[in-house]
Protein backbone atom coordinates (compact mmCIF):
# COMPACT_ATOMS: atom_id res chain seq x y z
CA UNK A 1 0.00 0.00 0.00
CA UNK A 2 1.37 3.40 -0.98
CA UNK A 3 1.20 6.10 1.73
CA UNK A 4 2.10 9.70 0.91
CA UNK A 5 3.60 11.52 3.91
CA UNK A 6 5.62 14.64 4.64
CA UNK A 7 9.34 13.74 4.96
CA UNK A 8 9.74 15.52 8.32
CA UNK A 9 6.78 13.70 9.86
CA UNK A 10 8.00 10.41 8.39
CA UNK A 11 11.51 10.82 9.82
CA UNK A 12 10.58 12.43 13.15
CA UNK A 13 7.41 10.57 14.12
CA UNK A 14 6.20 7.79 11.83
CA UNK A 15 9.30 5.63 11.28
CA UNK A 16 9.91 4.96 14.99
CA UNK A 17 6.32 3.74 15.39
CA UNK A 18 6.11 1.53 12.30
CA UNK A 19 7.21 -1.69 14.08
CA UNK A 20 3.98 -1.54 16.09
CA UNK A 21 1.96 -1.29 12.89
CA UNK A 22 3.82 -4.17 11.28
CA UNK A 23 3.05 -6.35 14.31
CA UNK A 24 -0.69 -5.86 13.82
CA UNK A 25 -2.89 -8.58 12.33
CA UNK A 26 -4.02 -7.26 8.97
CA UNK A 27 -1.01 -4.99 8.40
CA UNK A 28 0.40 -4.90 4.88
CA UNK A 29 3.69 -3.86 3.32
CA UNK A 30 3.92 -0.08 2.95
CA UNK A 31 5.57 2.05 0.33
CA UNK A 32 6.22 5.41 2.01
CA UNK A 33 6.09 8.17 -0.58
CA UNK A 34 7.93 10.92 1.34
CA UNK A 35 6.97 14.09 -0.48
CA UNK A 36 6.11 17.65 0.57
CA UNK A 37 3.59 18.18 -2.18
CA UNK A 38 0.03 16.95 -1.95
CA UNK A 39 -0.31 13.65 -3.78
CA UNK A 40 -2.82 13.47 -6.61
CA UNK A 41 -4.87 10.35 -5.87
CA UNK A 42 -5.99 10.07 -9.46
CA UNK A 43 -2.51 10.36 -10.98
CA UNK A 44 0.10 9.27 -8.43
CA UNK A 45 -1.19 5.78 -7.58
CA UNK A 46 -1.33 6.70 -3.89
CA UNK A 47 -3.73 4.76 -1.65
CA UNK A 48 -3.74 7.10 1.35
CA UNK A 49 -1.88 10.12 2.71
CA UNK A 50 -1.06 12.04 5.84
CA UNK A 51 -1.66 15.67 4.93
CA UNK A 52 -0.85 18.88 6.76
CA UNK A 53 -3.51 21.58 6.84
CA UNK A 54 -6.67 22.83 8.54
CA UNK A 55 -8.74 19.80 7.61
CA UNK A 56 -10.34 21.08 4.42
CA UNK A 57 -9.82 18.28 1.91
CA UNK A 58 -12.79 18.21 -0.49
CA UNK A 59 -13.69 14.81 -1.85
CA UNK A 60 -11.52 12.96 0.66
CA UNK A 61 -12.30 11.02 3.82
CA UNK A 62 -10.26 12.90 6.46
CA UNK A 63 -9.45 12.08 10.10
CA UNK A 64 -7.58 14.40 12.47
CA UNK A 65 -4.36 12.95 13.87
CA UNK A 66 -2.00 15.49 15.41
CA UNK A 67 -2.06 19.15 16.40
CA UNK A 68 0.94 21.45 16.27
CA UNK A 69 2.35 23.94 18.76
CA UNK A 70 5.63 25.76 18.26
CA UNK A 71 8.24 26.45 20.93
CA UNK A 72 12.00 27.04 21.14
CA UNK A 73 14.30 24.01 21.28
CA UNK A 74 18.06 23.74 21.35
CA UNK A 75 20.97 21.48 22.13
CA UNK A 76 21.56 21.02 25.89
CA UNK A 77 24.98 22.62 25.39
CA UNK A 78 23.29 26.03 24.92
CA UNK A 79 22.09 25.89 28.53
CA UNK A 80 25.72 26.26 29.55
CA UNK A 81 28.59 28.48 28.47
CA UNK A 82 29.11 32.24 28.30
CA UNK A 83 25.45 33.09 27.64
CA UNK A 84 23.35 30.21 29.00
CA UNK A 85 19.69 30.19 28.00
CA UNK A 86 17.88 30.86 31.26
CA UNK A 87 15.16 33.32 30.24
CA UNK A 88 13.60 34.20 26.87
CA UNK A 89 15.52 37.49 26.91
CA UNK A 90 18.74 35.47 26.64
CA UNK A 91 17.79 34.67 23.04
CA UNK A 92 19.43 37.96 22.03
CA UNK A 93 22.78 36.25 22.57
CA UNK A 94 21.95 33.26 20.38
CA UNK A 95 21.30 32.50 16.71
CA UNK A 96 17.65 32.03 15.80
CA UNK A 97 16.98 29.13 13.43
CA UNK A 98 14.08 29.58 11.01
CA UNK A 99 12.13 27.16 8.86
CA UNK A 100 10.87 29.42 6.06
CA UNK A 101 8.09 27.06 5.09
CA UNK A 102 4.64 28.12 3.98
CA UNK A 103 1.36 26.23 3.77
CA UNK A 104 -1.33 26.50 1.16
CA UNK A 105 -3.96 26.09 3.90
CA UNK A 106 -2.98 28.45 6.71
CA UNK A 107 -0.37 30.62 8.43
CA UNK A 108 2.65 28.99 10.03
CA UNK A 109 3.75 30.79 13.24
CA UNK A 110 7.08 32.62 13.18
CA UNK A 111 9.63 33.71 15.75
CA UNK A 112 7.89 37.09 15.88
CA UNK A 113 4.64 35.37 16.90
CA UNK A 114 6.38 33.47 19.69
CA UNK A 115 8.36 36.46 20.96
CA UNK A 116 5.19 38.57 21.06
CA UNK A 117 3.26 35.90 22.96
CA UNK A 118 6.14 35.44 25.42
CA UNK A 119 6.42 39.21 25.94
CA UNK A 120 10.04 39.32 24.80
CA UNK A 121 11.53 42.57 23.53
CA UNK A 122 14.97 43.41 22.19
CA UNK A 123 15.34 40.27 20.05
CA UNK A 124 15.44 40.65 16.26
CA UNK A 125 12.90 38.05 15.13
CA UNK A 126 14.25 38.01 11.56
CA UNK A 127 17.92 37.48 12.37
CA UNK A 128 19.73 34.17 12.26
CA UNK A 129 19.90 31.23 9.88
CA UNK A 130 17.05 30.51 7.47
CA UNK A 131 16.21 27.10 5.98
CA UNK A 132 13.48 25.74 3.72
CA UNK A 133 13.50 22.20 5.07
CA UNK A 134 12.51 21.04 8.55
CA UNK A 135 14.92 18.10 8.64
CA UNK A 136 17.88 20.36 7.87
CA UNK A 137 17.05 22.93 10.52
CA UNK A 138 16.63 20.15 13.11
CA UNK A 139 20.17 19.01 12.30
CA UNK A 140 21.39 22.57 12.87
CA UNK A 141 19.68 22.63 16.27
CA UNK A 142 21.13 19.23 17.21
CA UNK A 143 24.56 20.58 16.31
CA UNK A 144 24.22 23.51 18.69
CA UNK A 145 24.12 26.11 15.92
CA UNK A 146 21.18 27.99 17.41
CA UNK A 147 17.66 27.89 18.80
CA UNK A 148 14.87 26.53 16.62
CA UNK A 149 11.19 27.45 16.85
CA UNK A 150 10.09 23.86 16.38
CA UNK A 151 6.77 22.13 15.99
CA UNK A 152 5.71 19.39 18.39
CA UNK A 153 5.76 16.35 16.13
CA UNK A 154 9.17 17.19 14.68
CA UNK A 155 11.00 17.21 18.02
CA UNK A 156 8.97 15.41 20.70
CA UNK A 157 10.95 12.16 20.38
CA UNK A 158 14.27 14.08 20.35
CA UNK A 159 13.26 15.83 23.58
CA UNK A 160 12.35 12.51 25.20
CA UNK A 161 15.77 11.22 24.14
CA UNK A 162 17.36 14.35 25.69
CA UNK A 163 19.03 15.26 22.42
CA UNK A 164 17.13 18.55 22.42
CA UNK A 165 15.67 20.58 25.27
CA UNK A 166 12.78 23.04 25.44
CA UNK A 167 14.10 25.76 27.78
CA UNK A 168 10.91 27.85 27.97
CA UNK A 169 7.28 27.01 28.70
CA UNK A 170 5.65 29.48 26.28
CA UNK A 171 4.10 27.94 23.16
CA UNK A 172 2.27 29.36 20.20
CA UNK A 173 -0.52 27.30 18.66
CA UNK A 174 -0.97 26.68 14.97
CA UNK A 175 -4.30 26.10 13.27
CA UNK A 176 -2.56 23.51 11.09
CA UNK A 177 -2.38 19.83 11.91
CA UNK A 178 -1.92 16.39 10.41
CA UNK A 179 -4.82 14.43 8.93
CA UNK A 180 -5.11 10.92 7.53
CA UNK A 181 -6.89 11.14 4.19
CA UNK A 182 -7.96 8.81 1.43
CA UNK A 183 -10.53 8.87 -1.38
CA UNK A 184 -14.03 8.46 0.01
CA UNK A 185 -14.63 5.33 -2.04
CA UNK A 186 -11.51 3.69 -0.54
CA UNK A 187 -12.18 4.43 3.13
CA UNK A 188 -13.73 1.01 3.80
CA UNK A 189 -10.90 -1.02 2.32
CA UNK A 190 -9.65 -3.33 5.05
CA UNK A 191 -5.98 -2.43 4.70
CA UNK A 192 -6.70 1.31 4.68
CA UNK A 193 -9.01 1.04 7.69
CA UNK A 194 -6.35 -0.93 9.59
CA UNK A 195 -3.69 1.71 8.92
CA UNK A 196 -6.07 4.58 9.71
CA UNK A 197 -7.21 3.07 13.00
CA UNK A 198 -3.62 2.37 14.03
CA UNK A 199 -2.54 5.95 13.27
CA UNK A 200 -5.51 7.31 15.22
CA UNK A 201 -4.55 5.11 18.19
CA UNK A 202 -0.90 6.24 18.07
CA UNK A 203 -1.95 9.90 17.96
CA UNK A 204 -4.38 9.36 20.85
CA UNK A 205 -1.61 7.70 22.88
CA UNK A 206 0.61 10.74 22.35
CA UNK A 207 -2.14 13.05 23.59
CA UNK A 208 -2.80 10.85 26.62
CA UNK A 209 0.91 10.93 27.46
CA UNK A 210 0.93 14.73 27.15
CA UNK A 211 3.23 14.67 24.12
CA UNK A 212 0.77 16.22 21.69
CA UNK A 213 -2.06 18.45 22.82
CA UNK A 214 -4.93 19.94 20.88
CA UNK A 215 -7.71 18.88 18.60
CA UNK A 216 -9.05 19.55 15.15
CA UNK A 217 -9.93 23.19 14.57
DSSP helix/strand/coil, 186: helix
pLDDT band at residue 97, thresholds of 50, 70 and 90? very high
pLDDT tens digits, residue range 146-188?
Answer: 999 999 999 999 999 999 999 999 999 999 999 999 999 999 9
CATH fold label, 2-67+175-208: D-Maltodextrin-Binding Protein; domain 2 (3.40.190)
Listing from the earlier edge strand, what are the strands of the sheet with 31-34?
31-34, 2-5, 48-53, 172-183, 60-73, 147-151, 96-99, 129-131
Q: Does residue 213 register a pLDDT over 80?
A: no
What is residue 190's predicted lDDT score, i.e. its pLDDT? 97
- State the DSSP string of 153-164: HHHHHHHHTTSS
Decide: 131 and 92 in contact? Cβ < 8 Å: no
If one looks up domain 68-173 in CATH, what number appears? 3.40.190.10
Count Cα neighbours of 147 within 13 Å in the Cβ-side half-sphere: 32
Q: How many whole angstroms separate alpha carbon 13 and alpha carbon 7? A: 10
What is the pTM for the complete model shown?
A: 0.88
What is residue 217's predicted lDDT score, i.e. its pLDDT? 47
Domain with CATH 3.40.190.10 in the chain: 2-67+175-208, 68-173
CA nearest to 19, candidates 197, 198, 162:
198
The number of residues making up the chain comes to: 217
What is residue 142's predicted lDDT score, i.e. its pLDDT? 98
Please state the separation of Cα 88 from the chain's center in Å. Answer: 23
pLDDT tens digits, residue range 113-156?
Answer: 999 999 999 999 999 999 988 999 999 999 999 999 999 999 99
Amino acid sequence: MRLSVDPTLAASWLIARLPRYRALPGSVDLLLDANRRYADFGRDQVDAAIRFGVGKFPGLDAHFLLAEELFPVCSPKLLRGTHPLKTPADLRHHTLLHNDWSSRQGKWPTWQDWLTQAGVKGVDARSGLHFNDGLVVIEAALGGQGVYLANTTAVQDLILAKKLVAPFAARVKSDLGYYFVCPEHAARRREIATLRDWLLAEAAADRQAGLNQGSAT
